Amino acid sequence: MITQFIKSREALLLLAIAIVIALVSTRFPDFAAPANAANIFNDTSILIMLALGQMVVILTRCIDLSVASNLALSGMVVALINSIVPGLPVPILLIIAISLGMIMGACNGILVWKLDIPPIVVTLGTLTIFRGIIFLISNGEWINAHEMSASFKAFPRFELLGLPVLSWMAVLTVIVFAIIVIRTPLGRAFYAVGGNPHAAVYTGIDVGFTRFMAFVIAGGVSGLCGYLWVSRYAVAYVDIAGGFELEVIAACVIGGISIAGGIGSVGGAVLGALFLGIIKNALPVINISPFWQLAISGSAIIIAVAVNARSESKKGRVILKKAEQTT
């Protein structure tokens, strides 16, 4: 078990994260202090949640480019509702945000399932459509802090056992995803569909439906993050989280989720997101321009994919042998 873990992708990532923290700590000893660590985690919470949603989609050999637009639209809708009906309690807004996100995810899923359109095309389309809808419902105007009710803004910041609710939401999401992925037939189906769609069909798994469910789950997470993002930054406008989907996919790739589907773990996705979050927080501390952050994340992605490709090429040779045997 222990040797297996040491060889795993998660261990490698943990090591990379430890090295980054150690390097930064030499210049800024308080970087790893609990208070700062909690801050970084809180900052990365939304990325972690979205990466988990994206992970299940990628596991089924699909991809969802619309998560950030979905987040922005859900966030705008709850912000609008809050500005019109300030008295509506936060739990109801949460339910609205999640359901709205799930509906958008279902749109993606239906198109992939029933019309058999490649996921990258479907979600590239809905990415633009969702953004367009935000413009339509907001007339391109911002919703600012003073238009939001106090409880709306306070919810993600509310401290519980030393951590803000936003962080607890991320923890809860990690637990729920771990249960879905490891302990439910649907979670197992994600792996089977991505690992070998043909074999999945023969075992009685409905490949299209499984992908649909992955999109719905990813959509629900995006909706939830929509509310959290808007309330945390206390502003909603057309372009929030613009391009964030790429960071989410980057977190997945760094975390060892195979773009070819079927391989990946909750731990990997979380560590991938944390790695990006730590880099993002560390660079300003040691006075490196934030532009370097882009270069570093980019390099991390390429290194991660190269490591993946190397570990998968070993499998490739086995497959080749098999192909020869059957001829």
Partner 1 sequence: MLVNTKQPETSGTQSDADTQSGLGRAVLSLSGISKEFPGVKALNNVSLNLYAGQVTALIGENGAGKSTIVKILTGIYQPNGGTISVNGAEINFPNAHAASAAGVTAIHQETVLFDDLTVAENIFIGHAPRGRFGLIDTVRMRADAEALLTRVGADISPTARLRDLGIANKHLVAISRALSIDAQVVVMDEPTAALSHKEIGELYALVERLKAEGKAILFISHKFDEVFRIADRYTVFRDGEMAGEGIMQDVKEDDLIQMMVGRTVDQIFPKIDVELGETVLTVAGYSHPTEFEDIGFSLKKGEILGFYGLVGAGRSEFMQSLFGITKPSKGAMRIDGEIAIVRSPAEAIEKGLVYVPEDRGKQGAVIGLPIFQNITLPSLDKTSRKGFLQLAEEFKLAREYTERLDLRAAALDQDIGNLSGGNQQKVVIAKWLATQPRVIILDEPTKGIDIGSKAAVHEFMGELASNGLAVIMVSSELPEILGMADRVIVMREGRLAGEFDRDTMSAEALVRAAAGIGEVAA
Stretch that binds partner 1, among 120-128, 197-205, 226-234, 283-291 (CB under 8 A): 197-205
Instruction: Give CA–CA dist 246/168, Å, rounded.
Output: 24
Least distance in angstroms from the C-beta of 319 to partner 1: 7
Site string for partner 1, 206-225 (x = CB under 8 A): x-------------------
Is the CB of 297 or the CB of 308 nearer to partner 1? 308
Contacts of partner 1 in 247-276 (CB under 8 A): 262-263
Does 128 contact partner 1 by CB under 8 A?
A: no
24-32, 138-146, 200-208, 289-297 -> range binding partner 1 (CB under 8 A)? 200-208
Q: Tokens 């509506």 identify what position?
A: 88
Residue 139 or 326: which CB sits closer to partner 1?
A: 326
Which of 34-42, 119-127, 198-206, 246-254 is the region at the interface with partner 1 (rule: CB under 8 A)? 198-206
Residue given tokens 């790695």 in the structure block: 275
291 binds partner 1 (CB under 8 A): no
The residue (of 205 and 249) whose beta carbon lies closer to partner 1 is: 205
Select from 95-103, 169-177, 204-212, 296-304 the region that touches partner 1 (CB under 8 A): 204-212
Choice from 40, 165, 205, 252 touching partner 1 (CB under 8 A)? 205
Q: In this complex, which beta carbon is closest to partner 1, that of residue 145 or of residue 182?
A: 182
For residue 221, with 0-12 CB atoms within 10 Å meaning exposed, 13-18 middle and 19 or more buried, which class applies? buried
Interface with partner 1 in residues 156-195 (CB under 8 A): 179, 182-185, 187-188, 191-192, 195
Residue 326 sits in the site that holds partner 1 (CB under 8 A): yes
Mark the segment that binds partner 1 (CB under 8 A) among 16-24, 119-127, 196-204, 245-253.
196-204
Q: Residue 78 has which token pair?
A: 């709850």
Among 29, 34, 204, 243, binds partner 1 (CB under 8 A): 204
3-state per-residue secondary structure call for the chain? CHHHHHHCHHHHHHHHHHHHHHHHHHHCHHHHCHHHHHHHHHHHHHHHHHHHHHHHHHHCCCCCCCHHHHHHHHHHHHHHHHHHCCCCCHHHHHHHHHHHHHHHHHHHHHHHHHCCCCHHHHHHHHHHHHHHHHHHHHCCCCECHHHCCHHHHHHHHCEECCEEHHHHHHHHHHHHHHHHHHHCHHHHHHHHHHHCHHHHHHCCCCHHHHHHHHHHHHHHHHHHHHHHHHHHHCCECCCCCCCHHHHHHHHHHHCCCCCCCCCCCHHHHHHHHHHHHHHHHHHHHCCCCHHHHHHHHHHHHHHHHHHHHHHHHHHHHHHHHHHHHHC
Q: How far is the CB of 257 from partner 1 (least distance, A)?
A: 12
Q: Does 309 bind partner 1 (CB under 8 A)?
A: no
Of 8, 196, 293, 311, the one binding partner 1 by CB under 8 A = 196
Contact predicate 125/235, CB 8 Å: no
How many of the chain's residues bind partner 1 (CB under 8 A)?
Answer: 32
Site residues for partner 1 per CB under 8 A: 179, 182-185, 187-188, 191-192, 195-196, 198-206, 262-263, 315, 318-319, 321-327
